[in-house]
Amino acid sequence: MILFWIIFIILFLSFGVIVFIGAPYVPSRIADDIKLFDELNLKKGSVVVDLGSGDGKVLVEASKRGLVAVGYELNPFLYLVSRFRLRKYPKSKVYLGNYWSADLSRANLVFVFSAAPFMERIYSLLKNQLKKGSYVASYAFSFEGVKIHKKIEPINLYRF
């Protein structure tokens, strides 16, 4: 019974408490991720950063296309899932940690699936770090007052 409670507490902390730091885990649909990458047709070697990379689906799709995928995930269980899924792609990696301190200066595309309360702060992070011409794909949420470059339902695509 004690083992059950220990596992429950670890899971609660990993999935429940994170909502106060960032968005809860809700996976994007792989069909939407494929549409995004088909539409952008980024050059091989381009850098894709996924803020809150969850189970690594976006990272794997980017890696399959010859892109360098970098993910940031705070949940240790999802981090391990991502590491496992990326084992075939040595140029891609996922970091266990908070994406608020991520270096986005090399990113050609930043993928974000966050919650509305964090979008303004994320926009500031992106605005201060992204190079001219970079894309930001925001799944389901938008940046208030910022013009959407293209809508790839349900993704809002921005060009910085």
pLDDT, tens digit, for every residue of 89-101?
999 999 999 898 8
Amino acid 27: pLDDT: 79
| Cα gap 48→65, rounded to integer Å | 11
pLDDT band at 129 (very low <50, low <70, confident <90, very high): very high
pLDDT, tens digit, for every residue of 16-57?
555 555 566 777 899 999 999 999 999 999 999 999 999 999
Cβ neighbours of residue 142 closer than 8 Å, sequence gap 6 or more: 119, 148, 156
CATH class of the structural domain 2-159: alpha beta
Domain ranges of the chain: 2-159
Task: Look over the chain and give the mean of its residue pLDDT values, rounded to a whole number.
Answer: 89
Tell me the one-letter amino acid at 41: N
| Cα gap 124→121, rounded to integer Å | 5
- pTM, full prediction: 0.86
Amino acid 24: pLDDT: 66
